[in-house]
Structure 1
């Protein structure tokens, strides 16, 4: 692959901007300055430096972020900061997208990618990908509310019955539940349907991806190749 094309694919700007970076000597491979934009490079297992910062070539990117409150999952937020402001510019230039969305007041695991197949595998309704939430409620959780969540509730303007699985009470005003759909405000609406109210909502898991307890709010990391492949090939 041409060096200029490789840089562009990694989010370092337009072709002309990448050519300029190269010609000015800001790009190194194996410690050597590469000043020819037309130089051919092998991208497999490639590491390179731009402005003395080291990068690994990635054909596609897959990211897990611990989303804090007060961020909208939009490139054009209306009332709060964009969650994309938590990512470096080179990822924005790669046009990464949220894999599903979280409300601005919901915290927890949020995935990003520029791989349409990966996004489809985790968001298509037919996949029924499990999503685990921890819920803090306004009123103490009652045993009958847990039962109703598992047996199913009706939601306004929706057809059918919506059930949660693996419903467990964690504290007087806290529970954990797993849903397999992705309706708008689904957890909040299900909790309201059983006579309670969500005070705080945190997503702990999407499919096989769990939020690490060591990952602080606003921090992110690249998913491993093995994790990504498992998500792409999981059964519907």
Structure 2
């Protein structure tokens, strides 16, 4: 797809067409390693690399991101009591409208997906899709066999008579377990543990679909999701990253 440079920059979150035109004319934009001061120059968008103020970017029709969420951040663009996870992203990604795919509580940590692709958001938040999400759960009390059995068989939450069952539940330590769920209800894991007779002290999301939070992704940092990671996300079993 051939596209004018100012329109390309606008699609990638660098402001209005007027803003992008001024950015190019100021000498701030390079394309494929060469300075370009013509905002109307046309380029093949797919796979195009460019720089803005020396920062390298790659044209992407949609942005797919993984963020290692820290504790103490809200998954809201209008946070009430704590900083927003969106403050951890560069401005162009915010301008192009990336949104969190589901949420993690303020005190929860781990894998958070973000995108500006509405179909992707639906795919990974729709209850009908039953996408597995794996959490490492630290509990207040020692986890016993009846609690694990209850989580696997299904517990009843206070707002729904229909039992909710974990897809998998593995004991990692006296007060730590690995829990897999396929729903995305509000405070689901915390409420499930409470219904089983325990309490969540810490919650860390390890994976979504088949994609595991990379050990190399530091807390508070984000990464692009490319084709290999997107394929893992679409898998229904966790793979070693």
Q: TM-score range by the shorter chain?
A: over 0.9
The structural deviation recorded for 1:31 is 2.9
List runs of 5+ in structure 1 lacking aligned partners: none
Partner of 2:239: none
- Give the one of 151, 162, 165 matched to 2:164: 162
Cα pair 1:121 1:232 within 8 Å, conserved:
no
Tell me the distance in 2 between the aligned counterparts of 1:213 and 1:92: 25
Cα pair 2:211 2:232 within 8 Å, conserved:
no
Alignment deviations for residues 123-177 of structure 1 (CA, whole Å, 9 cap, x no partner): 1111011010111000111111001100111000113010002201101111111
The change in CA–CA distance for 1:96 and 1:161 in structure 2 (over 3 A counts) is same
The structural deviation recorded for 1:229 is 5.2
The structural deviation recorded for 1:230 is 6.1
- Give the TM-score, by structure 2 length: 0.93
Cα pair 1:117 1:232 within 8 Å, conserved:
no
Partner of 1:188: 190
CA RMSD of superposed structures (Å): 1.4
Tell me the distance in 2 between the aligned counterparts of 1:145 and 1:80: 33
Partner of 1:171: 173
- Give the one of 206, 227, 231 matched to 2:229: 227
- Tell me the secondary structure at the aligned position of residue 179 of structure 2: strand
- Give the one of 37, 58, 70 matched to 2:60: 58
* Residue 17 (str. 1) matches residue 19 (str. 2): yes
The change in CA–CA distance for 1:134 and 1:75 in structure 2 (over 3 A counts) is same
List runs of 5+ in structure 2 lacking aligned partners: 237-241
- The 4+ residue runs of structure 1 with deviation greater than 3 A are 229-234
Partner of 1:216: 218
Matches within 5 A, 1:77-156: 77-156=79-158
Cα pair 2:68 2:222 within 8 Å, conserved:
yes
Tell me the distance in 1 between the aligned counterparts of 2:65 and 2:54: 23
- Give the TM-score, by structure 1 length: 0.95
Cα pair 2:48 2:59 within 8 Å, conserved:
yes
